[in-house]
Amino acid sequence: MRYIKVLLLAVLFFLALIFFFQNQAALSQKMALTLHLFFLPAMTSIELPFYFLVISAFFIGVLLAVSFLAWEKFTTSAKLMKTKWRVSSLEREVEKLRKQVESVPQATRKFFHRSKPQEAAPASAVQDKSAQPETKAASVDDIVAPDPDKA
């Protein structure tokens, strides 16, 4: 792809040279630019060859295009850096919370996981459970953050 771009630029440059050489008489004519504003007196530039105006307009366009591309690249890279910082911050927070969970005693963790039913439940709670259909014990992922697609 890189070679194709270079080849196309070389062909474009060659065609531009041919254009300027074949139209040398027409492009060498002197031209003065004027600017008439309602609230200012008319301004006139010095006489310049037409080819100078064409080439300067081309380079001004190139400079504008490069500046817009550079601005877009800078803003995109700033957003990328901000997002990377946010991800690393969240990863640090996850590690901190994981260490906190690991520091909790094993008996307390079993309570949070709800992996075993409580043995000393009151009689009224047992009757309420018998009225409801039996469901499988929920995993930690389902308790903390249920997946909306599974519903």
pLDDT tens digit string along 1-42? 888 999 999 999 999 889 888 988 888 899 998 998 888 899
pTM: 0.49
Q: Determine what percent of the chain falls in helix, strand and coil, rounding each to the nearest 5.
A: 65, 5, 30
pLDDT tens digit string along 37-95? 888 899 999 999 988 888 899 899 999 999 999 999 999 999 999 999 999 999 999 99
Count up the domains in the chain and report the number. 1
Q: Does residue 9 lie in a domain region?
A: no
Q: Does residue 14 lie in a domain region?
A: no
Domain boundaries, position 105: 73-114
